[in-house]
Amino acid sequence: MTETNHYITLDHCIILTVNENNDCIADGRIVIHESTIESLGTPDEVEARGKVYDLKGRIVMPGLISTHTHSPSVLFRGLADDKYLHEWLTEYMWPAEKHLTHELTYAGSRLAYLEYLGNGMTTNVDMWYFSDAVSQAAEESGLRSFLSSAVFAFPSPQSEHSLQDTADYLARCYSRPEAVRKASRVYPCVGPHDIYSTNPPLLKECAQLAKQYQAMIHMHISETQRDNAEAFSLYNMSPTRVAEEAGIFECRTLFAHCICLSEEDMDIFHKYNASVSYNPVTNLKLSEGILPIPKLREKGINVTVGVDGAQSNNSLNLLADIKTGVLIQKVAEMNPCILNAVDAIRMITINGARAVGMEHKIGSLEVGKRADLITIDIDTPAMTPILHKTTENISSHIIYTDTSINDVMVDGEFLMKDKEYCRIDAKEIMREAQKAADYITKKIDKI
């Protein structure tokens, strides 16, 4: 059921605002008009309007934002576990991906968006092929998505000219009527895959294309020491410097992984206000290293979190990943205070919004912002007891315990209500994804 054309009220909930002061309202009320939060406060301060939902026993917080995903790769979940990155990528993933089609990509994307939705991710930043297929799945799910086609210096599964694929995708998106574009929750981006899989002239063309459409650039960089060594061997500079020379940093930029950045690289990130996507589970599983978050924060660099793809993470659960990510930072620094639960909440909400240039619209619960939010059940064994209804205690429960997502809303529309999907048929999506994976598996077995 869609409820976007009138007032609704979310009542008697614990509201974790993630505003500038990190305010938490122990008994709160949110009034939503169409897509926007009209008022927020206690029941004494805010008058209920429209249909009232009693959410006593639930936390309401901003929707989660995953800043690095490869949605259709869910079709390869479990295909090649326990491998080194470049062996895994070049000997298993890329050969398997050659069998992808528009239809298979669509089936995989639908499954990934189903998983995002069930795990409370209202926004994701994606890079893959067949962007029209991913876009279709994203639009049907109702989630907010920043999508790019991966650009390579060699043929992709989609065609021999991946930059042209990206240019065509952007042209199609921006040629739609203005009313359609404004209503869409899909935002096209430019996605050069990495330094090692592109080259400086191609990167310059990517930057020019992004500038033409004022689009964000989303790419991998310095994921391993091997990536850095290859860049120095070819260009006598770091991957970050290669990207800077090509003009990539002159656009809004979001870089995934960034494990092996030097001090000079970090200074470049700070200079251009570039954002980093931390992918802790993939980084651990592929033994790539640990992102130096304390150094990045000292440099004033915006750090966000991504689930990466199910081909390398296996699950797509941002709350599970941020718990892992926080804990390994503590051990890496041998300092339990290095990254707290309140900071972690901001990394998966407002920091993500800032990375994609939407901090004025999403990422926190404030009057005038879009009603992108989730609710979490506190009437569960894992969430009991709530000792204090404070920002610190509520954030601690969300980050360190097992949470249960009850409701998901984007633009004031319930996409999941009481754990029931409002737009999509989960069983049908899983059935079609299994068929797609079976088809690819047979193709792989013939290699």
Query: How far apart, in Å, do the first and last CA atoms of the chain sit?
Result: 46
Q: Which residues of 271-281 are buried (b: 16+ CB within 10 A; e: fewer)?
A: eeebbbbbbbb
| CA separation for the pair 386, 380 (Å, rounded) | 11
| pLDDT reported for residue 101 | 95
Handedness of CA 73, 78, 80, 86 (dihedral sign): positive
Secondary structure of residue 122 in the 3-state scheme? strand
Q: Judging by DSSP bridges, how do beta strands 121-128 and 144-151 pair with one another?
A: parallel
114 membership: H or E segment, kind and range: helix 102-118
Residue 84: partners with Cβ closer than 8 Å, 6 or more residues away = 286, 287
DSSP strands (E only) in 282-371: 302-305
| pLDDT reported for residue 124 | 98
| pLDDT reported for residue 5 | 54
Tokens read off for 276? 């980093």
Identity of the amino acid at 299: K
* DSSP letter (8 states) at residue 63: P
The full length of the chain comes to 447
Peptide bond into 280 cis (omega under 30): no
| Residue 232 burial class via C-beta count within 10 angstroms: exposed 0-12, middle 13-18, buried 19 and up | middle
CB 122 within 8 A of CB 408: yes
| CA separation for the pair 311, 308 (Å, rounded) | 8
| Residue 368 burial class via C-beta count within 10 angstroms: exposed 0-12, middle 13-18, buried 19 and up | exposed
CB 283 within 8 A of CB 307: no
Q: Judging by DSSP bridges, how do beta strands 275-278 and 253-257 pair with one another?
A: parallel
Q: Which residues pair with 152 in a beta bridge?
A: none
Q: What are the distances in angstroms from CA 303 to CA 9, 140, 289, 300, 429?
A: 33, 29, 16, 9, 33
Q: What are the distances in angstroms from CA 130 to CA 30, 100, 157, 181, 367?
A: 39, 9, 9, 19, 37
Residue appearing with tokens 């619209």: 361
User: Which domains, ranges and CATH numbers included, belong to the chain?
Assistant: 7-62+371-421 (2.30.40.10), 64-355 (3.20.20.140)
DSSP string covering 188-238: E-BEE--STTS-HHHHHHHHHHHHHHT--EEEEE--SHHHHHHHHHHHSS-
| CA separation for the pair 356, 65 (Å, rounded) | 10
Q: pLDDT tens per residue, the chain (447 residues)?
A: 344 458 999 999 999 999 999 999 999 999 999 999 999 999 999 999 999 999 999 999 999 999 999 999 999 999 989 988 888 888 998 889 999 999 999 999 999 999 999 999 999 999 999 999 999 999 999 999 999 999 999 999 999 999 999 999 999 999 999 999 989 999 999 999 999 999 999 999 999 999 999 999 999 999 999 999 999 999 999 999 999 999 999 999 999 999 999 999 999 999 999 999 999 999 999 999 999 999 999 999 999 999 999 999 999 999 999 999 999 999 999 999 999 999 999 999 999 999 999 999 999 999 999 999 999 999 999 999 999 999 999 999 999 999 999 999 999 999 999 999 999 999 999 999 999 999 999 988 754
| CA separation for the pair 418, 361 (Å, rounded) | 25
| pTM to 2 decimal places | 0.96
Task: Count the neighbouring beta carbons within 10 Å of the beta carbon of residue 40.
Answer: 24
| CA separation for the pair 64, 74 (Å, rounded) | 19
